[in-house]
Amino acid sequence: MTTARLPRTSTIGSAPFAVFVATQAEMKPLATSLQPTCRSVHRSDSIVRVGVGGRDLLLAKTGVGPDSAETAARRLFEETPIAAALSLGVAGGLNPQVRTGDLIVGDQVILRRNARQGSHREKSSGLERFPCDSGLQDAAMTVLRRWDSRHYLGPILTVDRIVLTADEKRRLAAESGAMALDMESAAIASAASARSIPFLAVRGVLDAIDEDLAIGFDQFLDERGEPRPLPLMRYLIMHPFTLPHLVGLGLRTKAVCTRLGRLLQELATTLS
């Protein structure tokens, strides 16, 4: 297990914040909940520049998974000076205290890759930890305490595939000590670390640790984690009883990302 060092600073520069989300289902409610003073496409239709509270935000959609997220983050960091990087979106719960809808502010993010990805990845088959920026943590926790809403400060684990079962979530929790898991945050932190960019992950819990998702996502999602309409229709025809669960997950995602958008609005204003 290795621990990387990220910059810790109480002073955030005036360059834009890079805000990474994985999918359109996360991006849309987050962006809608902002109150921007300006909005424009930034060189790519997957990146939108918005002005919020005197701070420019680059909202970047990465696609699902650590490889896609790291590639997108590195590309953006090479193109544009960035004051801070944030990973926002949904996560699975890994702690029995954590309930659906709770927000997890990362004090560190943990990258777990499978050794099967090839010999050049073998050293990454353990856990690599990246501390989150203390100044960004404090700002996020201050906002959430003021809201008096359910939230936790703790580690977030990043894995390279969708975790469907409660048994696997419990195993990953015991292995990592994390409170939640996603598929992007630690990969973005790795890219931020290479550029000495302050980083923070905040994730909303989509499914609790004891909840089985039991949905064949691979049958209707494309390589970026977006639904393919015809395969989705075929899946629902073959598995009609999954429709209410899918609708419920969509509503949870919208609610969580709307709250994350409100948090981002206050952070951008506070840190301007």
pLDDT at 74 over 80: yes
* pTM for the whole structure: 0.86
Percent of the chain, pLDDT > 70? 88
**Confidence band of 35 (pLDDT split at 50, 70, 90):** confident
Domain ranges of the chain: 2-8+15-270
Which residue in the block uniquely carries the two structure tokens 């809403």?
149
- Computed on alpha carbons and rounded to an integer, the radius of gyration of the chain in Å comes to 18
Backbone angles phi, psi at 216, to 5 degrees: -80, 70
Query: What is residue 121's predicted lDDT score, i.e. its pLDDT?
Result: 39
Note the pLDDT tens digit of each residue in 223-264.
Answer: 888 878 898 888 788 888 888 888 898 999 999 999 999 999
Range 8-29 burial, b when 16+ CB lie within 10 A, else e: eeeebeeebbbbbbbbebbbbb
Could you tell me how far CA 272 lies from the centroid of its own chain? Answer: 22
What angle (nearest 5°) sits at the alpha carbon of residue 216, between those of residues 210 and 221?
A: 120
CA dist 246 and 248 (Å) reads: 5
pLDDT above 90 coverage of the chain, percent:
60
> What number of CA atoms fall less than 13 Å from residue 126's CA on the CB side?
6
pLDDT in tens, 119-165: 333 344 488 999 999 999 999 999 999 998 899 999 999 999 888 89
Residue type, 236: L
Backbone dihedral angles phi then psi of residue 145, each to the nearest 5 degrees: -65, -35
Longest dimension (CA), the chain: 54
Using an 8 Å Cβ cutoff, are 49 and 164 in contact?
Answer: no
Query: What is 2-8+15-270's CATH topology?
Result: Rossmann fold (3.40.50)
pLDDT for 98 beyond 90: yes
pLDDT of residue 178: 96
Does residue 212 have a pLDDT over 90?
no
Contacts of 35 (CB under 8 A, 6+ apart): 52, 265
Mean pLDDT value of segment 202-217: 89
